[in-house]
Structure 1
Amino acid sequence: MTLHPSLQNYADAATHSIEAISELVKPLAEGEWNRRTPCPWWSVRDIVSHVIGMECEMLGDPRPIHTLPRDLYHVQSDFARYMEMQVDVRRHHTAPEMTSELEYVLIRRARHLRNESRAPETTVRAPLGAEQTLEVAYNMRAFDLWVHEQDLRAALGQPGNLDSPGALITRDVLLTALPKVVAKDAGAPPNSAVVLDVHGPVEFLRTVRVDAEGRGSIDGSPSLGPAVTLSMDWETYVRLACGRVRHTAVADRIKAEGDQELATAILDHFAVTP
């Protein structure tokens, strides 16, 4: 393989998750494809359709020419409309059609990775006609695939892979958004600190520090006398940060110490995925 070393971890994590997804859905009966998932508005079929569609775009395929129905009331933004296109075009595909297309994507994906020789800083297509580096694209695919693998596992009652390579990439992606959540969205006061303590299959402690100008930063060192300390398990953290559940529904799994008003404001803005 000629894949650049800085892309290898992302590629390996994404491959691990998409192969897990394939194994999860391969034995499903037709009716099981319609099961609701924690991903708002999407069924098992919808998530697999999204996975297939995004992988095809990574492979350079043109987007489908398709008009979305007018009654998709959850589609409220250009980004949501962009993502829904690959989903809706497959909404009436049968189980064999879905598994066959996913298996073909896996074959094409493996061939593509074997021949990938581009540099990480190479500019590639991003959603809505934007551009991103190849490294960002690979990173986000690993993140997206692991989160949707977990959506499918929840819907199908098959938990697992909470500490797989994709989980660690997901941790890092979600944590990059935490300073904005604390400092800007929740309005933590200047010269304050908020500690996040996560336990379980993936364990970590991070401190968000808000400077005198109200800007947030994050590091791994503890804080003496933080304004708020939030403690929760890894699965709850992922569900909250990815917008799969509201904090009021999992209050028994969250421990908030310190300024309760600020803690609530942080939790109200905890979801960072589109």
Structure 2
Amino acid sequence: MTVHPSLQTYTDAWTHSIESIAELVNPLTEGEWNGRTPCPNWSVRDIVSHIIGMECEQLGDPRPIHTLPRDLYHVQNDFARYMEMQVDVRRHHTAPEMTSELEYTIIRRSRQLRNETRDPETMTRAPLGAEQTLELALRMRAFDVWVHEQDLRTTLGKPGNLDSPGAAIVRDTLLAALPKVVAKDAGAPPNSAVVLDVHGPVEFLRTVRVDAEGRGSVDGSPSLGPAVTLAMDWETYVRLACGRVRASAVMDRIKAEGDQDLAAAILQNFAVTP
């Protein structure tokens, strides 16, 4: 037996996205690797370094022994420091070094996934010495590489794959965080509902319902008389939810109906990625 059937979706999505990333960066000139991306404080090189580092950790490779410079002012907590280590250690690598390491990492990781026999509930390595199930690890790698593929496409002016296999995983992962955004972070009142209407390459209509105790849940049923309805395109939704842009910068792409104060609070707390 190879990969468990419940893991195949994540493996396929990861493969599609990471191979797309390799195709995007292989022809880049040295200077293009320094281009700023929508991912805060990271260049093209930094994103590829991050991807290489995270996949190497899933392979069981030891983390680099490296001291971060003191002038990385965007590194404000332990999680950011953990993530930055794999990035900073490669900041002076040349374009050929980056592409060759990425290619080698993809080969190794693809072989590992093809030969995967572990149960989805097997506990595996996670950041900061924590553990997570194999299924969660693969889902988050599929999520991560798709989002970073879009970061790179934005920077390089090569849009595409907004509806690729990874998009569905990103949609479901972001929607799972929406009840907390609406009920807790934005403080939607008890017994209220908020409708999210997303159009474009990935289309969906979801309702976040806040019960009498203030707990949120999300479903696909429409709501009569919601407190707020937010309509936007898929790309805008991803950019907002992944912290790539502030709502104030894309309000021309968002239609908010209903309680405007609540709508503003939801959009202010929309980003759910670390």
TM-score (norm 2): 0.99
CA distance in 1, matches of 2:165, 2:79: 27
CA distance in 1, matches of 2:22, 2:196: 34
Could you tell me how far 1:109 is from its partner in structure 2? 1.3
Number of positions where the alignment pairs a residue of Structure 1 with one of Structure 2 = 274
Deviations 1:58-96 (A, max 9, x none): 111011000000000000010000000000000000000
1:175 equivalent in structure 2: 175
Instruction: Return 108-117 or 7-16, whichever deviates more.
Output: 108-117
- Displacement over 3 Å in runs of 4+: none
2:236 equivalent in structure 1: 236
Are 1:119 and 2:119 an aligned pair?
yes
Percent identity, aligned pairs only? 85
CA distance in 2, matches of 1:11, 1:114: 9
CA distance in 1, matches of 2:149, 2:10: 15
Could you tell me how far 1:113 is from its partner in structure 2? 1.4
Could you tell me how far 1:235 is from its partner in structure 2? 0.1
SS of 1:177's partner is: helix
Contiguous gaps of at least 5 residues in structure 2: none
- The amino acid that maps onto 1:11 is T
2:18 equivalent in structure 1: 18
Deviations 1:25-72 (A, max 9, x none): 000000000000000000000000000000000111011000000000
Q: List aligned pairs for 1:20-59, cutoff 5 A.
A: 20-59=20-59
CA-atom RMSD in angstroms: 0.5
Could you tell me how far 1:170 is from its partner in structure 2? 0.2
2:103 equivalent in structure 1: 103
SS of 2:42's partner is: coil
1:247 equivalent in structure 2: 247
CA distance in 2, matches of 1:160, 1:134: 29
Could you tell me how far 1:110 is from its partner in structure 2? 1.7
Could you tell me how far 1:114 is from its partner in structure 2? 1.9
CA distance in 1, matches of 2:158, 2:261: 37
Are 1:2 and 2:38 an aligned pair?
no
Contiguous gaps of at least 5 residues in structure 1: none
TM-score (norm 1): 0.99
Deviations 1:224-250 (A, max 9, x none): 000000000000000000000000000
CA distance in 2, matches of 1:19, 1:89: 23
SS of 2:250's partner is: helix
Could you tell me how far 1:106 is from its partner in structure 2? 1.1
CA distance in 2, matches of 1:129, 1:107: 26
